[in-house]
């Protein structure tokens, strides 16, 4: 692809995935913009365009019907759509409210039914439009995004891990959290992050969502065996996988 | 055109170069202001509902996601609230490491704001990208400093976007003395870049618009330090009069309320609005700034109480220098004392607690309640941008008539208003509770 036009868009999210782009440092950032034209990036630039774009990077969940036309418009303009970050790929943290019905009331009290509080279930971007590639993570692994874009520039198919975080954790020879009397979601979490959390002494929370075919009952058993009470063991994985669990609403 | 009969129509839909979504709507007919409003159409995310039923070790990891830019601050405010609720007293070492982590975020975010979001206005370009061609070395310097902030924060927090290592009671993993020495070396190597930053800003300083609307300034304050990680709440009035409040009493200061003018929640204390952020901290805590930062304040002609909201950006530059030098002090102290291997402190009770820190955009409050199993039963998060909305609106109310009287064009007014909002460095994406706006 010759010098593609790249644009960034955001929906319901914390913009942390966009911020990761400013964390590349001078070398990677200045190198990246040698190869692509950034044509829209509202967080950092005032320029806007109506032109077709080659790669649209979409951050954030689809959480209100009002955002559907904007998503459709992006799809129409873009050759390739990449959903990046957990909010965009699975609904992410925003979907943690999906199994509840009183979230509006809890936060807004008597104002809960005001019409402009339009918020539906938090869904991934591909609930509204076709998405070509997904970069998981909360936040995204910025080097993975770089790799996806670079593969696309070179006409290669990006490869995203389908196996669990435990694989990467073992590879870096981290002592398992279960050995330390703790618990962890690494068995069901999608790899690609390099397993930094267990290495830093805390459980993986599956911020990249589930790996392919996660064994949920086995996870619950493992969590119970680590001493978690039943309610917690059942709920534990929901933080970033609310839309992927077998009980997702 | 005579200004008295001027028509001005401004509709900035999704203001750029801010985090999150905000709109400016102005309607002036024949010189009469019909509408002049600052709106926030951010999608609500319901964090306070999502933390219910989650274990105390998970709450900070969830509420960190309120904002990707101040996620260190959200994590720390969350940990402080949880620790207050669980009767956890952190060690002195943890305190220092957290201060150092907080400094890293303020440094990192201020560099981003000053160079990438505010500087293009002062240089008359729409973004940092055209500057790559015209001001290449400045952009490279900005990116180098940004990387320093990121590496400094990552050493302590694991990463700067949603840090992993800071946990209730302490840290899950500690930096080594060697890593701290390496950080110090990196910081020292950045001093020329910092000096150049000051020169660049000093050269651009005359371009900050002249505008004055002193207000109430609210910030953390402590007798020991220019408060960023810990302190009480302090109010500073335009005449410099100060008053302190306990963090647990934050609701007495924030007083969230709804207004028919805008659908975002507003805050007010003694006046009908107040400001939080770098300028509020500067006005409250000037005396405790590092001497090097005071020098910068003098060079930029800044004195407390400063009532020009555009100079929030200048206050950020002063804080960049303060944060840098205060961090060198902490790093030196930690290297001298050595890093002790400490396990996070365990809970001693389960109740309700509040915590506050100074994030780049101002004072941030979290509060949570826990049941006997350590599961969260509810919480409240009040973010700085929320606290600033009423103040931005009040600034608009004074700025627009002044500009109309001064015969400014629609374009000039629009830019001045955009710059004003950007000066607050609003972080609207962290809207824990905002309402949507429809325009007629
Ligand atoms: S995936 Fe996480 S870091 Fe990215 S926008 Fe969503 S909440 Fe923020
Ligand atoms: S620590 Fe977690 S990711 Fe690592 S091996 Fe154990 S369960 Fe798997
Ligand atoms: S280890 Fe787990 S929680 Fe940590 S980054 Fe990887 S997927 Fe996310």
Region B220-231 average pLDDT? 96
What separation in Å is there between the alpha carbon of B51 and the centre of ligand 3?
19
The model's pLDDT over A141-155, given as tens digits with 9 standing for 90+, comes to 999 999 999 999 999
Min Cα distance A248 → chain B (Å) is 15
3-state SS, residue A37:
strand
What separation in Å is there between the alpha carbon of B330 and the centre of ligand 3?
30
Is A33's CB within 8 Å of B62's CB? Answer: no
CB B392 within 8 A of CB B74: no
ipTM confidence: 0.93
User: Quick one: pLDDT at residue B11?
Assistant: 62
3-state SS, residue B352:
strand
How far is CA B167 from each of CA A195, B13, B60, B180, rounded to the nearest angstrom? Answer: 17, 39, 8, 20
Joined tokens for residue B434 = 């905002």
The one-character DSSP state at A95 is: G
The model's pLDDT over A119-134, given as tens digits with 9 standing for 90+, comes to 688 999 999 999 999 9
Query: Considering all CA atoms of chain A, what is the largest pairwise distance in Å, rounded to the nearest integer?
Result: 56
Region A208-230 average pLDDT? 95
CA dihedral B230, B40, B208, B71 (to 10 degrees): 30
Min Cα distance B238 → chain A (Å) is 33
Q: Which ligand is nearest to the CA of A135?
A: 1
User: Within 10 Å of residue A212's Cβ, how many Cβ atoms?
Assistant: 9
Distance CA B114, CA B9 (A): 29
- The pLDDT mean for chain A works out to 89
The model's pLDDT over B257-278, given as tens digits with 9 standing for 90+, comes to 766 555 567 889 999 899 999 9
Is B58's CB within 8 Å of A205's CB? Answer: yes
Q: How confident is the model at residue B2 (pLDDT cuts 50, 70, 90)?
A: very low
Q: Which ligand is nearest to the CA of A189?
A: 3
B17 → closest Cβ in A46, A64, A66 = A46
Question: Searching chain A, which residue's CA lies closest to the CA of residue B165?
Answer: A200
């Amino acid at each position: 692809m010759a010098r593609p036009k790249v644009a960034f868009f955001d929906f319901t999210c914390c913009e942390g995935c966009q911020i990761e782009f400013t964390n590349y440092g001078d070398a990677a950032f200045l190198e990246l913009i040698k190869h692509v034209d950034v044509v829209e990036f509202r967080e950092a630039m005032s320029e806007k365009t109506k032109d077709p774009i080659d790669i649209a990077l979409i951050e954030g969940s689809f959480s209100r019907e009002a955002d559907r036309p904007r998503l459709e418009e992006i799809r129409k303009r873009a050759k390739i759509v990449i959903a990046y970050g957990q909010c965009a790929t699975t609904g992410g943290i925003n979907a943690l409210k999906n199994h509840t019905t009183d979230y509006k009331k809890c936060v807004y009290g008597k104002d809960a039914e005001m019409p402009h509080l339009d918020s539906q279930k938090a869904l991934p971007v591909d609930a509204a439009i076709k998405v070509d590639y997904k970069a998981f993570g909360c936040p995204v692994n910025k080097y993975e995004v770089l790799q996806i874009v670079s593969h696309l520039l070179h006409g290669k198919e990006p490869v995203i891990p389908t196996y669990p975080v435990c694989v990467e954790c073992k590879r870096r020879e981290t002592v398992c959290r279960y050995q330390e009397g703790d618990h962890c979601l690494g068995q069901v979490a999608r790899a690609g992050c390099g397993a930094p959390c267990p290495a830093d002494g805390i459980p993986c929370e599956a911020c990249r969502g589930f790996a392919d075919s996660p064994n949920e009952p086995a996870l619950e058993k493992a969590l119970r065996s680590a001493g978690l009470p039943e309610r917690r063991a059942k709920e534990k994985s929901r933080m970033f996988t609310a839309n992927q669990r077998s009980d997702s609403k | 055109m005579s200004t008295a009969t001027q028509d001005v129509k401004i509709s900035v839909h999704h203001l750029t170069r801010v985090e999150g979504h905000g709109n400016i709507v102005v309607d002036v007919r024949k010189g009469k202001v019909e509408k002049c409003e600052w709106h926030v159409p951010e999608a609500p995310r319901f964090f306070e509902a999502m933390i219910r039923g989650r274990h105390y070790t998970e709450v900070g990891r969830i509420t960190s996601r309120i904002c990707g830019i101040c996620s260190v601050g959200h994590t720390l405010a969350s940990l402080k609230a949880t620790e207050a609720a669980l009767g956890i007293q952190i060690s002195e070492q943890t305190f220092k490491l957290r201060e150092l982590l907080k400094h890293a975020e303020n440094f990192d975010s201020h560099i981003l704001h000053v160079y990438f979001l505010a500087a293009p206005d002062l240089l008359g370009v729409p973004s940092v990208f055209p500057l790559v061609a015209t001001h290449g070395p400045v952009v490279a310097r900005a990116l180098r400093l940004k990387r320093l902030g990121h590496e400094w924060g990552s050493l302590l927090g694991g990463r700067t976007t949603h840090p992993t290592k800071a946990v209730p009671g302490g840290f899950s993993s500690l930096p080594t003395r060697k890593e701290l020495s390496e950080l110090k070396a990196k910081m020292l190597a950045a001093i020329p870049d910092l000096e150049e930053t000051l020169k660049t800003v000093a050269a651009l300083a005359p371009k900050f618009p002249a505008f004055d609307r002193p207000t109430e300034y609210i910030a953390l304050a402590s007798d020991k330090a220019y408060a960023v990680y810990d302190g009480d709440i302090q109010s500073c009035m335009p005449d410099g009069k100060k008053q302190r409040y306990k963090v647990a009493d934050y609701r007495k200061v924030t007083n969230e309320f709804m207004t028919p003018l805008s659908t975002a929640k507003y805050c007010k204390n003694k006046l009908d609005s107040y400001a939080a952020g770098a300028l509020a901290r500067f006005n409250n805590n000037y005396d405790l700034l590092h001497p090097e930062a005071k020098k910068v304040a003098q060079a930029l002609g800044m004195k407390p109480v400063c009532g020009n909201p555009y100079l929030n950006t200048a206050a950020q530059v002063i804080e960049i220098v303060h944060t840098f030098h205060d961090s060198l002090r902490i790093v030196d102290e930690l290297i001298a004392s050595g890093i002790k291997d400490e396990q996070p402190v365990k809970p001693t009770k389960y109740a309700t607690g509040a915590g506050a820190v100074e994030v780049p955009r101002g004072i941030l409050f979290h509060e949570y309640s826990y049941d006997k199993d350590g599961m969260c039963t509810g919480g409240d998060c009040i973010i700085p941008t929320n606290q600033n909305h009423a103040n931005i609106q009040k600034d608009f109310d004074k700025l627009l008539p002044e500009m109309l009287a001064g015969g400014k064009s629609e374009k000039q007014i629009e830019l001045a208003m955009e710059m004003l909002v950007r000066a607050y460095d609003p972080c609207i994406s962290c809207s824990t509770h905002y309402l949507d706006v429809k325009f007629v």
